[in-house]
Amino acid sequence: MDLHEYQAAELLARYGIPVNRGILARTPEEARAAAEQLGSRVVVKAQVHAGGRGKAGGIRLADDPAQAEAVARQILGMDIRGRTVRKVLVAPAVAFEREYYLGVVLDRDARRVAVMASSAGGVDIEEVARERPEAIVREHADPCLGFQEFQARRLAFRLGIEPDLVRGFAALARQLYQAYVDCDASLAEINPLVLTRDRTWLALDTKVVLDDNGLFRHPDLAELRDPEEEDPLEREARLAGISFVRLNGTVGCIVNGAGLSMATMDAIKLYGGEPANFLDIGGGASAQRVAAALRLVVADPNVRSILVNIFGGITRGDVVAQGLLEALRQVEVRVPMVIRLVGTRQEEGRRLLEEAGLTVVDTMEEAAQRAVAAAQSQ
C-alpha cells in the first residue's frame, strides 16, 4: 500500500527524522492560506500515487501566497501517469548545499533488509542503479541484530560525508531503518535528503510503501489508505478479497490462482487477443466469489468476451458449475463467455453448464482461442 508524501513525512517525523513539514491543501485557496501561514517562499507538490511528479510539472516553486494559489490551481486536477491530482502539499522552499539519497528496502536476492545511500540524491534512484551502480552504497541489516551504528557510519564515510556530519547522518539512517521495520514497510526512502546551508540534515521528500500482508497488525496505518487513489473496480475487488488488476484489453478473465491467471492472460495474448484484467478468485470458487468476480469483469466497458478458467482440483467440478450458474443468475452478462473447467467430477460440472447453454471447453488453449475470437467478432 502506497502512502502519500505528507503521510510518510508525518510517520518518519515520529521517529525523529527531521522532515520539511508542510501543510496539505485541497484547493488553490487552501494552498494560498498555507503559504501565508508558512510565511516564506514555498514549494507546491502534487500528492498522488505516481512517480515522476517533478517531470510531469507536479512540483513547482512559488514566491508568495498569490503565486502558490496560482500554481496549486494548475497542479490540482492535473493528470500524472493516469492519476488525477486531488491534493497538494505546500512546504517551505529550502536552500541546500548537497542532495543525498537514503532508502531501506528488502533485498530479495540476499534475503536481507538493505539500507542504501547515494550522493546522487534528488533523481530517480532506479536510474542511478542502472547507469551508475557504483554511486550507490549499501549495508545489509543482520536478521537478528538489525542495522548497527557502525554500518550507518560506514555508509556515511563511503559517501565522503565530512566527520562532523557523520553522526547526524548515521542517526537518520538508523531512524529510517527502525521506521521501516516497525511499520512492516516494503520501502522507506528519503530522496532527497539535503544538507542545508547551515549544515543540518533535512528530509525534503519522503516515500513509504507498506507491505499489504503487514497491515493486519497496523490498523492505524491501514487507515491511511486513500480511496481516491484506487481504481473503483480494484477497490471493489479488494473489499471482496479478490486479486484484480485492471488492464487495457478486451478479454475479461476469471481464474483461480495467481500463476494460472497470469498464464491465462499470456495465452490470450499468444492467440492474438489482449487481456482486460488479471483476476484471481482465490480458493474454493464459491458462487459468491464467482458472482463478485463476474460483477467486476462486466463493469469494464472494454470487455467484449469473458474467459473463465477454473482448475478446480479438490473442489468438485459440479460444485464449481453450480456456483457459476448461481452467479449468472445474479449478474447479467451480455458478452460471450467461454468456460474451461477441470476438477474431480468435471464431467458432471460440464453437463450442468452445457444444459444451461454455456460454452464449455476442455483445454486452456482452446478456451483462450475461442475467447479471443469472440472478442474480435463483437
Partner 1 sequence: MAILVDASTRLLVQGITGREGSFHTQQMLEYGTNIVAGVTPGAGGREVHGVPVFNTVAEAVAATQPNASFVAVPAPFAPDAILEAAEAGIPLIVCITEGIPVLETLRVYHAVRERGVRLIGPNCPGLISPGKAKVGIMPGFIHTPGPVGIVSRSGTLTYEVVWALTRAGIGQSTAVGIGGDPVIGTSFIDVLELFQNDPETRAIVLIGEIGGADEEAAAEFIRRHVTKPVVGFIAGRTAPPGRRMGHAGAIISGGRGTAAEKIAALEAAGVPVAERPAQVADLVRRVLEGV
Instruction: Supply the residues annotated as catalytic.
Output: 101, 189
- The only residue of 129, 298, 331, 335 in contact with partner 1, by rule CB under 8 A: 129
Shortest Å, Cβ 17 to partner 1:
20
Q: Taking CB under 8 A as the criterion, which residues in 159-198 touch partner 1?
A: 181, 184, 186
Q: Pick the closer one to partner 1 by CB: 126 or 164.
A: 126
- Identify which of 187, 300, 323, 299 has the alpha carbon closest to the alpha carbon of residue 308: 323
Beta-strand pair 277-280/243-246: antiparallel
Q: Pick the closer one to partner 1 by CB: 229 or 280.
A: 280
Shortest Å, Cβ 25 to partner 1:
28
The residue range among 26-34, 132-140, 193-201, 274-282 that interacts with partner 1, by the rule CB under 8 A, is: 274-282
Q: Pick the closer one to partner 1 by CB: 119 or 186.
A: 186
Q: Pick the closer one to partner 1 by CB: 3 or 43.
A: 3
The DSSP secondary-structure symbol of 2 reads B
Q: Pick the closer one to partner 1 by CB: 36 or 234.
A: 234
Cβ atoms of 210 and 221 within 8 Å: the answer is yes
Beta strands in the chain, from DSSP E residues, in sequence order: 23-25, 42-46, 59-62, 79-80, 83-84, 88-92, 96-107, 112-118, 136-140, 185-196, 201-203, 206-210, 243-246, 251-255, 277-280, 305-313, 337-343, 359-361
Q: Assess 216 for contact with partner 1 (CB under 8 A).
A: yes
- The only residue of 269, 322, 351, 373 in contact with partner 1, by rule CB under 8 A: 269
95: Cα within 13 Å, side-chain hemisphere? 4
Q: How far apart are CA 190 and CA 171, in angstroms?
A: 14
Beta strands in 219-336, from DSSP E residues, in sequence order: 243-246, 251-255, 277-280, 305-313
Q: Pick the closer one to partner 1 by CB: 162 or 212.
A: 212
The DSSP secondary-structure symbol of 3 reads P
Q: Assess 70 for contact with partner 1 (CB under 8 A).
A: no
The residue range among 84-92, 154-162, 251-259, 292-300 that interacts with partner 1, by the rule CB under 8 A, is: 251-259
Q: Assess 220 for contact with partner 1 (CB under 8 A).
A: no
Shortest Å, Cβ 256 to partner 1:
6
- The only residue of 23, 120, 364, 374 in contact with partner 1, by rule CB under 8 A: 364
The residue range among 15-23, 56-64, 214-222, 350-358 that interacts with partner 1, by the rule CB under 8 A, is: 214-222
Beta strands in 58-215, from DSSP E residues, in sequence order: 59-62, 79-80, 83-84, 88-92, 96-107, 112-118, 136-140, 185-196, 201-203, 206-210
Which bin fits 309, alpha (ψ -120 to 50), beta or left (φ > 0)? beta
Shortest Å, Cβ 109 to partner 1:
6
Q: Assess 342 for contact with partner 1 (CB under 8 A).
A: yes
Which bin fits 203, alpha (ψ -120 to 50), beta or left (φ > 0)? beta
| Dihedral, CA of residue 350, residue 351, residue 354 and residue 355, to nearest 10 | -150
Shortest Å, Cβ 84 to partner 1:
18
- The letter for the amino acid at 127 is E
Binding site for partner 1 (CB under 8 A): 106, 108-109, 111-113, 126, 129-130, 143-144, 181, 184, 186, 211-214, 216-217, 243, 245, 247, 255-263, 265-270, 275, 278, 280, 311-314, 342-344, 363-365
